[in-house]
Amino acid sequence: MEELKLYTFEEVQDELIGPIGTPKRDAFESKLAAELEAYKIGEALKKARKEQNLTQKKLGEMVGVKEAQISKIENGKSVAFTTIIRLFKALGAKTACLDLGSMGKVALW
């Protein structure tokens, strides 16, 4: 019987998406980071909406978008920056700041 070859997670990543530092790997990691941020924004929005006992439909009506759009945003599927700002303002967020890492922070409102 032939011995089963085991691979580390890093070996599988290198094989499937390329070694660290290659354009394919960098593109994958950049897309993954963006999707994670969209998910975090959606979760924050959902939490704020639920704390105010609002339905997705009611929140959508408050800012002029459909319930389906709120659902997409909360699930990290569709994040239009201008809509996000309107939603957080409607939920009473007093300020928002964008952290640009080494370039500093930018106040959005």
- Per-residue confidence band for 96, with pLDDT thresholds at 50, 70 and 90: confident
Q: 4-33: per-residue pLDDT in tens? A: 999 999 999 999 999 999 999 999 999 999
Say what the pLDDT of residue 85 is: 86
Distance between CA 88 and CA 51 in Å, rounded?
Answer: 13
Which residues, 6 or more positions from 89, have their beta carbon under 8 angstroms from its beta carbon? Answer: 109
The predicted pLDDT at position 99 comes to 77
Residue 88 has pLDDT above 90, yes or no: no
Which domains, from first to last, does the chain contain? 9-107 (1.10.260.40)
Asked whether residue 102 carries a pLDDT value surpassing 90, the answer given is no
CB-based contacts of 44, cutoff 8 Å, min separation 6: none
pLDDT at 104: 80
Question: To the nearest whole number, what is the mean pLDDT of the chain?
Answer: 90
Q: How far apart are the first and last CA of the chain?
A: 67
Residue 79: pLDDT above 90? Answer: no
Given a cut of 80, is residue 67 above it in pLDDT? Answer: yes
